[in-house]
Structure 1
Amino acid sequence: MKPVSVKLPKEYIEGLKQLVVNGFYANTREAIRFAIRDLLVKEGYSEFNHGVKRGRTYAVPY
């Protein structure tokens, strides 16, 4: 994986932390990765469909 820096509003960070506390994700990084993956699927990048990319299966957060 390649690191990417991004600035987020405080409310986004707090929301991400709450998702982790509620057990939806292991950590905020995982939540952000899933959010980006879901956006790519929504926008039609089919190689990300169904949580599979290049033979790797990723956990589905729901």
Structure 2
Amino acid sequence: MDAFTAGLLQRIQTTESDLTKARETGDDFLADVEQGELDDLHRLAAEHGVHIGATSV
């Protein structure tokens, strides 16, 4: 796995965790921000052929 793929997968995992925490604490604004970031990361992964597998969110 190259550094780009590893970094992207790590960012996705971190963002999913942050999104879960925002939802659990009821922080709707932060949840929206994290969801937008996650959507962007998924788009970037798709554009570069990075398979992200199942997500927890």
Do they superpose with TM above 0.5? no
Q: Specify which structure has the bigger relative contact order, considering alpha-carbon pairs within 8 angstroms and separated by 6 or more residues.
A: 2
Q: Which has the larger radius of gyration?
A: 1
| TM bin (shorter chain) | 0.3 to 0.5
TM-score scaled by length of structure 2: 0.39
TM-score scaled by length of structure 1: 0.36
